[in-house]
Amino acid sequence: MALRVLFESEYVTVSYDYSNEWLYVDWKKDQDLHSVQTGCERMLECLQQEKCHKVLNDNRQVESMWSDASEWVGKVWLPAMAEAGLQYFAWVYSPNLYSRLSTDLTLQHAPAVGPIAFTFDNIDTASAWLRQM
């Protein structure tokens, strides 16, 4: 991956992947409402800045439940991302069961019309799918 870091904090790194023309977002550690909202807002800014249409959202290092943010992410942030040009969203699950449940809950809150979002158990499968889109 040819990555350029656009935003970095202790809980998330947002990079632009030049070879694939997508945002690569690497979430880390424990997440809560504040960290998720802040990271998502930076992701939205980066998507607009880079004018890209795909996101590889990597939760493999997330160690906690963040379901308190799921409704906001699904109902507010995902539609805002779609409005900004997001078309395809590959979401790599965390091995943490509670984080996985938070991801699933988020997608239940997402509108039927919007970006095409799929979840994956490994990053290679997610990347392969996103490249085909």
Domains recognised in the chain with CATH numbers: 3-132 (3.40.50.10600)
Residue 15: which residues within 8 A CB-CB, separation 6 or more? 3, 4, 5, 6, 23, 24, 25, 26
Residue 14's φ and ψ, nearest 5 degrees, are -110, 120
Predicted confidence (pLDDT) per residue in 95-112, tens digit? 999 999 999 999 999 988
Tokens coding 110: 């997402």
pLDDT tens-digit profile of 50-105?
Answer: 999 999 999 999 999 999 999 999 999 999 999 999 999 999 999 999 999 999 99
Instruction: Please report, as a single letter, which amino acid is at residue 110.
Output: A
Evaluate the CA torsion angle 51, 81, 100, 72 in order and state its sign: positive
**pTM above 0.75?**
yes
Neighbours of 132 (CB within 10 A): 7
Calculate the CA 22 to chain-centre distance: 11
pLDDT at 114: 82
- For range 6-31, the mean pLDDT: 97
Predicted pLDDT of residue 1: 67
